[in-house]
Amino acid sequence: MERSFHIRNRQELYRTIPDHSLFVCFAGRILPQSADAEYPFFANRNFAYLTGLDGAEVHDFVFLARKEGEAVEETVFALPPDAMAERWTGRRLKEDEIRSRSGVERVLPVERFSAVFHAAAEHCRTVALDLWKKSPEDPDTEAFRFAARVGRDYPWLVIENCHRQLCAQRTIKSPEEIAAIRRAEEITKAGIEAMMRASRPGLYEYQYKAVFDHALADRGVLTPAFPSIIAAGENNFCIHYYSYTGQARDGDLILNDVGAAWDGMCTDVSRSWPCSGVFSPRQRALYECAYRTSQHMFEIIRPGMPMADVVPLPVPASIYGLILLFGLLKGGVLRLEEVEDVGGLLLELMPLLLVPASVSFLTAADTIGEMLAPVLIMGFIGTAAVMAVTGRVAQAGIRRGKGDGKHG
């Protein structure tokens, strides 16, 4: 991506941050794998989105922005040159490279971050951080540890979480991002087609993976967007399967969920085919059913389309929403903490939301009067049934939870 892309991203974020504020974003740290090895490093996605600084050489980098009115002072804190360290772990980015890629003119050694932040904090009221965890049990990131430090050492600073704003910005893709996604799709397609050409009974899953990785490397992608899922036969039934030890047998389906990344944009494509290249009648029937369903959905779905038009069942749109929300919560895509505030607000406003519907009855008073008794009876019976079913389901869930706790 051109540095203008990252500059625009930062400017959009700054419009949402109040005056007299600091914004801090961390690239992340390398994690040790053993006494003499480390896990592969990649920069925090939002850090790369804002700065254009990515790759193994940006570990421990910090980005700091100070907003005062319309003026924003930006600083990248980077690892300074170190000939001995670079001999072991590779070259470090030079200041001119950081300026060229990020568009940030001020570059300082990372060890100066604490002093610079301390001096700026005395004149500010807010510090914005990118705070996110998939689960509350996950280890604290640099941002969470820094938030704890701010709360302890700078009690006058209000901590704001800008993660949702960054997610909102990244949801709508720019032309540059769309171009990168298309390139990543082309490379992913080449990798899948290479596996299909190599496929035959007797091939091991790790051999399929080697073919895919080779196709990506030939096109300049050294690491997939995520760990590839490549499964043969009964291993298909493990959704996140990473063993790669199974052997394809005649009649097996090869299932894969793979993707390449290009310019920070990732693809995620799932495909399945018979390892011999020929579907059995049953496999072809299932494949055609899934394929035609997918093609139909691609043809009809448009932005802003009501869910009732996508899945035309005789249920209110609110029920679709509840089912989707339940699935997202159970699947771990959303956490309860992320929807708790909004849910509480809606419950508080619920009586007010019912006022328009109640008033509308007045316009149909004559019609309703003729059937008032049946309406009241159905209302009471329906309410009682909902309360009874809800109570029973809740009690069953509580009992099950207590039972799991005893056995856990």
Spatial contact of 106 and 74, defined as CB atoms under 8 Å apart:
yes
Nearest-Å Rg of the Cα atoms of the chain is 27
Task: State percent of the chain over pLDDT 90.
Answer: 62
User: Domain of 322?
Assistant: 313-349
pLDDT digits (tens, 9 = 90+) for 301-317: 888 887 777 777 777 76
**Per-residue CA distances from 208 to 118, 185, 190, 195, 234 (Å):** 53, 19, 13, 6, 16
Least confident of 176-185, 241-250, 262-271, 313-322: 313-322
Residues 138 and 254 in one domain: no
Within 13 A of 308's CA, how many CA atoms are on the CB side?
A: 6
What tokens does 123 get?
Answer: 């004149």
pLDDT-derived band at 365, boundaries 50, 70, 90:
low
Q: How far is CA 308 from CA 183, 312, 314, 318, 400, in A?
A: 34, 5, 8, 10, 34
Kindly state the helix (H) or strand (E) to which residue 377 belongs, with its residue range: helix 372-407
CATH label of the domain that carries residue 270: 3.90.230.10
* pLDDT tens track for 6-21: 999 999 999 999 999 9
Q: Is the pLDDT of residue 1 over 60?
A: yes
The DSSP-derived string for 90-103 is -PPPPHHHHHHHH-
Residue 73 lies in a domain: yes
Structure confidence by residue, pLDDT tens digits, 284-305: 998 899 889 889 888 888 888 8
Please indicate, yes or no, whether residues 152 and 261 belong to a single structural domain of this protein.
Answer: no
Q: Work out the average pLDDT over 47-56.
A: 94
What CATH number corresponds to the domain at position 25?
3.40.350.10
List, in sequence order, every residue forming a beta bridge with 232; answer none if it has no partner: 254
Does residue 407 form part of some domain?
A: no
For 112, residues 6+ apart whose C-beta sits below 8 A from its C-beta are 77
Task: Work out the mean pLDDT of the chain and round it to a whole number.
Answer: 89
Q: Are strands 269-274 and 253-258 parallel, antiparallel or unpaired?
A: antiparallel
What mean pLDDT comes out for the span 347-360?
66
Identify the pLDDT of residue 408: 47
- Do 76 and 33 sit in the same domain of this protein? yes
28 backbone dihedrals φ, ψ, rounded to 5°: 115, 170
Please list the residues that pair with 38 across neighbouring strands: 32
For helices 163-171 and 3-14, angle between their N-to-C axes, nearest 10 degrees: 130
Judge contact between 106 and 75, C-beta under 8 A: yes
Q: Do 188 and 137 share a domain, yes or no?
A: no
Least confident among 272-276, 341-345, 399-403: 399-403
Tell me the backbone φ, ψ of residue 403, rounded to 5 degrees.
Answer: -65, -40
Give the Cα separation of 6 and 327 in Å (integer). Answer: 34
- pLDDT tens-place string over residues 126-147: 999 999 988 888 999 999 999 9
- Answer with the one of 138, 171, 204 that is the final residue of a domain: 171
Of 176 and 374, the structure prediction assigns the larger pLDDT to: 176
3-class DSSP state of 78: strand
Q: Are 23 and 160 members of one domain? A: yes
Residues 186 and 234 in one domain: yes
How sure is the predictor about 397, in pLDDT bands with cuts at 50, 70 and 90?
confident
Res 217 pLDDT > 60: yes
User: Has residue 379 been placed in a domain?
Assistant: no
**pLDDT at residue 76 greater than cutoff 80:** yes
Across 208-217, 218-227, 286-295, least confident range: 286-295
At residue 404, does pLDDT exceed 60?
no
Give me the number of domains the chain comprises: 3
Structure tokens at 393: 């389901």
Structure tokens at 187: 């490379």
Residues 89 and 115 in one domain: yes
Phi, psi (rounded to 5 degrees) for 252: -75, 150
Q: Are 61 and 47 in contact (CB under 8 A)?
A: yes
Residue 248 inside a domain? The answer is: yes
Q: How many residues comprise the chain?
A: 408
pLDDT of residue 354: 64
Q: What percent of the chain lies above the pLDDT cut of 70? A: 91
Residue 369 clears pLDDT 70, i.e. is over it: no
How much of the chain is helix, strand and coil, in % rounded to 5?
A: 55, 15, 30
Query: CA geometry: angle at 158 spanning 157 and 164, to 5°?
Result: 135
> How many other C-beta atoms are found inside a 10 Å radius of the C-beta of residue 1?
19
The packing angle between helices 336-360 and 317-330, to 10°, is: 170
Look at the block and give the residue holding tokens 């006494």.
35
What the block records as the tokens of 4 is 């203008």
Within a domain: 166? yes
